[in-house]
Structure 1
Amino acid sequence: MDQPKNVLISSNATTVRTLYQALASGNTNISGLIATDLEWWFHGPHNCQHMMKMLTGQSSPSDFKFQPRSMDAIDHDCVIVEGWDGAQVYWVHVWTLKDGVITQFREYFNTWLTVRDLRPLNCLTSTTLWQSHPQDLAQRSLPELMLAI
């Protein structure tokens, strides 16, 4: 029997929150949270692939601290996490989950992001599901991307 959509969304957000908590504490035992064949996508300067380095053991939590400022579960399989550190660093992580396990990860570093739903048959009318929250980075000029799902 399928779980109600709101239960899946809550469960997915809990999985992603657990991942960030584990990484912040230096706990690298995250098996069960992430699929072994994780699909990965990165946008930003090559030397800023901090999450990849963290998950593959090439860096430690002291090298770069992911401190999420917002976490939004959208749709039934997607969790978007956003963080920024003053005027220097802004990042967005888009996690896709299947059956409670993270199967896809998109990392955007110093890039504004808009997520739009293009799945309806009539792609001329799409829905914005999520947008970057500039807050203390509002005056900063960053490239903008649209993620279509």
Structure 2
Amino acid sequence: MLYKALLGQATMEMVSKLLASDLQYWFHGPPQCQHMMKVLTGETDHKKGFKFEPRSVTSIHDCVRTEGWEGQAYWVHVWTLKNGLITQFREYFNTWLVVKDLRPSRWEDHKQDSMILWRSQPPDLYCRSFPGLVVLAI
């Protein structure tokens, strides 16, 4: 519903009903790429700004991870949900992202790689370099 609204198929009123009033926002990437913040604050009209068209959406525990590619910009969003509302939003632009589950394991032979829940897959990974690796622990 959120991305449909942002793609111009609904109103910002619909978007605001999905967000907690005390939404936490965190951004990693070039400052000029803070497109979602501009849309959520009303600085940019959601029908005229950056088009967030997800190529994948995956649920991980109480988070939703969305990945997209818009020409020259690769992005990942991680939404944390509580009681059906988005309470935290993390936005990553043109960077690699690894999502790890850092909860203590019950298994003694727990290996580091088994903690990885997801790795970003930029479509042009080998054609250019991305800034360092960002690890998101959930």
Interval containing the TM-score (normalised by the shorter chain): 0.7 to 0.9
Q: Give 2:84's aligned residue.
A: 100
Q: Give 1:90's aligned residue.
A: 74
Give the whole-Å Cα distance in 2 for the aligned partners of 1:33 and 1:63: 19
RMSD: 1.6
Shift of 1:111: 0.7
Give the whole-Å Cα distance in 2 for the aligned partners of 1:52 and 1:89: 16
Matched, 1:23 2:12: no
Q: Secondary structure at the match of 2:32?
A: helix
Out of 101, 116, 121, the position equivalent to 1:133 is 121
Provide, for residues 25-84 of structure 1, a one-character-per-residue CA deviation record: whole Å limited to 9, x for no partner.
162112321001001100011121100000111002322111111111112x10000111
TM, length-normalised to structure 1: 0.80
- Residue correspondences, number: 128
- Once superposed, which parts of structure 1, at least 4 consecutive aligned residues long, lie more than 6 Å away? none
Q: Give 2:135's aligned residue.
A: 146
Counterpart AA for 1:145: V
Counterpart AA for 2:2: L
Give the whole-Å Cα distance in 1 for the aligned partners of 2:96 and 2:86: 23
Matched, 1:69 2:52: no
Q: Which runs of 5+ in 1 are unaligned?
A: 1-17
Give the whole-Å Cα distance in 2 for the aligned partners of 1:95 and 1:137: 24
Identity of aligned residues (%): 59
Give the whole-Å Cα distance in 1 for the aligned partners of 2:48 and 2:17: 24
Provide, for residues 1-36 of structure 1, a one-character-per-residue CA deviation record: whole Å limited to 9, x for no partner.
xxxxxxxxxxxxxxxxx0110111162112321001
Counterpart AA for 1:147: L
Q: Give 1:6's aligned residue.
A: none
